Amino acid sequence: MNAANLLKIALRALNNNKLRGFLTMLGIIIGVGSVITMLAIGQGSKRSIQAQISEMGSNMIMINPGNMDKRGGGVRQSASSMQTIKLEDYKGIVEKAKHVSVASPSVSSNGQFIYGANNYPSSIYGVSTEYLEIRKLSIGEGDMFTDQDIRSSAKVCVVGKTVVDNLFTSGDDPIGKVVRFNKIPFRIVGVLAAKGYNSMGMDQDDIVLAPYTTIQKRVLAVTYLQGIYASAVSEEMTTKATEEISEIMRANHKLKDSEDDDFSIRSQEELSSMMSSTTDLMTVLLACIAGISLVVGGIGIMNIMYVSVTERTREIGLRMSVGARGRDILSQFLIEAVLISITGGIIGVVLGVFCSFAVKLLLNWPIYIQLYSVVLSFAVCTVTGIFFGWYPAKKASELDPIEAIRYE
Amino acid sequence: METKKAIIELRDIRRDFKVGEEEVHALRGVTFSIFAGEFVTIMGTSGSGKSTLLNTLGCLDTPSFGDYFLDGVSVRTMNKNDRAILRNRKIGFVFQSYNLLAKTTAIENVELPLMYNSSVSALQRQNKAIEALTAVGLADRLNHKSNQMSGGQQQRVAIARALVNDPVIILADEATGNLDSRTSYEILVLFQELHAKGRTIIFVTHNPELSQFSSRNIVLKDGRVVEDTHNDAVKSAKEVLDSLPKVDN
């Protein structure tokens, strides 16, 4: 018997028992639908975390003085108080490191900013113009300070939105105004575009940027750097860039092979891999729960196919007596089972996509439907149909026609 | 008669079943031949081995001992699949309880055996089914579903189904058992007509009355043939039918 005829028979059998067929399908529909929805939620949250990390600059590399892994006893000092990183290290990285696109020195100080009658505590960061690119910041109004400002240690700054809100309460235009930090007047040349809070809950707009030379000479009166920010050419190149920087720094610091680094390098990669391993675990758990419902759906198919085989014993006997071979009967029932599971799978995919968007709309959760999750759950439900349909179909094909035809 | 071809040749057929510890001998050495164009009634009381013999003749079962040739082919050594193909090409079954597919039209029911024969195209299948249904007088009921027909009509569909593959033999198992006497005679008329057209028919029954309508009677008892007679005065079922009082519907 050819495939078209088998399909016709299976369709008729399902058509004769519409409600029963639908209820059987329901197991698969819920199974596939939940697999897709769960994976969409899992992937959505993973991607949203990844997006937040890359907003901070996913290829950002931070170089701090001192070795975080190896510290002596006694009273520990903050890393920034060590003085092992010099301007030469920054220049070395800019000139030699091939996998680093841009870099910026970093020196910072905390203090009160004063404008008119308002004052506000914040941090001032001494950086180069490349800092904007590294931290994925942009200027909202006005301009960034220039390289000329850096060379001349100009008393200019760029401020974040939070600082503006706190200092310019009367709604004045901050551009061109002078604020004082530790009695040093800084002229505001630009305002950063608002970035909001990051995933750690830190206000990314509570920031003031100034030329690093100004901070070094006029605020802190130091020659060393508290750190260097660098950006790898791409996220994939972060590890290579880290190694390169390490080599340059060790050469600059004339460290012997036996000596430990007197600096530490951190990239966002660790953070990002930690975050995604958590969400991956969550995705796997969700998929497992959904997978179980798919198996339950499969058992439903098996159950109903069993009933169907018993119910149609005489039909099977008749088919056999007019010349159906075992495998004709086997494929007839197998196709019926697969038809139930595939139809259920298609409805399940639609339901899953629908539910995913419902979750997005109603709960505002991030979702992301991957093609592979659709293909996978579809493949799994087809296999489920074959797997759970096989046993009843095999039973049917092994019936003795003599007994089957007289079955009451 | 001697020049006619033997459609069925049984040689010392035995069939034993194991029921628990005991061995049951359903057939204890059955030997006979059936020739093309015969209308044979096989009779016997229940337990005489008649069903086992029918299963053997229909290639649903294989004998424990002895040889069975159907249209010159030895069946005893065949496997399940080969027997299925043999049934498909050479045998037409008619059962007591019709065994039509539920909610399925007459034409589709009749097409069924041809569905399992991949050498028949869909168009040929349909044409043959219409032809067979016309032969049993149901040309106007092609698209009636099985549950929309009377018992007699359903049995006619079943007979059409048995004819559609142009079998060498038609095996009828108590084909009139479920029908009232009038409809039974109508079915018998149909069988006699088919016989007249040259069909070979085996009619298995426990009802001795029916033997008058066939050309040859074989009686089974305790797994053996106890009587094998030719009936020279075949009664016409049509005449009996006509003599029955008319029923007004």
Asked if B116 and A315 come within 8 Å (Cβ–Cβ), the reply is: no
Which pLDDT does position B228 carry in this prediction?
A: 93
B31 by Cβ neighbours in 10 Å (0-12 / 13-18 / 19+) ranks as middle
Which of A1, A322, A402 lies closest to B61 in CB terms?
Answer: A402
pLDDT at A270 over 80: no
Which of A196-200, A403-407, B19-23, B31-35 has the largest mean confidence? B31-35
pLDDT at B1 over 60: no
Lowest mean pLDDT among A5-19, A78-92, A231-245, B235-249: A78-92
More confident position, B1 or A377 = A377
**DSSP at B179:** S
| Predicted complex ipTM | 0.91
Which pLDDT does position B10 carry in this prediction?
A: 93
Residues 6+ apart with CB under 8 A from A74: none
pLDDT at A318 over 70: yes
- What are the CA-CA distances from residue B81 to residues A294, B102, B121, B150, B162 (Å)? 36, 26, 22, 34, 20
Q: What is the mean pLDDT of chain B?
A: 90
Fold of B6-243: Rossmann fold (3.40.50)
Which pLDDT does position A11 carry in this prediction?
A: 87
> In the block, which residue shows the tokens 């559609």?
B164
Q: What percent of chain B has pLDDT over 70?
A: 98
pLDDT at A402 over 60: yes
Nearest Cα residue to A14 out of A4, A23, A27: A23
Nearest Cα residue in chain B from A408:
B97
Structure confidence at residue A73 as a pLDDT band (50, 70, 90): low
- Mean of pLDDT values over A196-224: 84
- Mean of pLDDT values over A77-85: 64
Helix (H, G, I), strand (E, B) or coil at A71: coil
Which residues of chain A does B59 touch, with a Cβ-Cβ cutoff of 8 Å?
A: none
pLDDT digits (tens, 9 = 90+) for B78-112: 889 999 999 999 999 999 888 998 888 999 999 99
Which pLDDT does position A81 carry in this prediction?
A: 56
d(C-alpha A65, C-alpha A84), whole Å? 6
Which of A65-74, A190-199, A211-220 has the largest mean confidence? A211-220
Which pLDDT does position A82 carry in this prediction?
A: 66
Domain boundaries, chain B: 6-243
pLDDT at B59 over 60: yes
- What are the CA-CA distances from residue A338 to residues A18, A21, A332, A333, B111 (Å)? 16, 12, 10, 9, 25
Structure confidence at residue A155 as a pLDDT band (50, 70, 90): very high
Q: What percent of chain A has pLDDT over 90?
A: 24
A7 by Cβ neighbours in 10 Å (0-12 / 13-18 / 19+) ranks as middle
pLDDT digits (tens, 9 = 90+) for B139-190: 999 999 988 999 999 999 999 999 999 999 999 998 888 888 889 999 999 9
Mutate to test the interface with A, among B108, B112, B169 (most CBs of A within 10 A): B112
Asked if A402 and B102 come within 8 Å (Cβ–Cβ), the reply is: no
More confident position, B1 or A401 = A401
Structure confidence at residue A68 as a pLDDT band (50, 70, 90): low
Lowest mean pLDDT among B114-118, B200-204, B212-216, B243-247: B243-247
Which pLDDT does position A235 carry in this prediction?
A: 75
Asked if B116 and A326 come within 8 Å (Cβ–Cβ), the reply is: no
Mutate to test the interface with B, among A9, A312, A321, A398 (most CBs of B within 10 A): A321
Which residues of chain A does B118 touch, with a Cβ-Cβ cutoff of 8 Å?
A: 1-2
Strand partners, A191: A141, A159
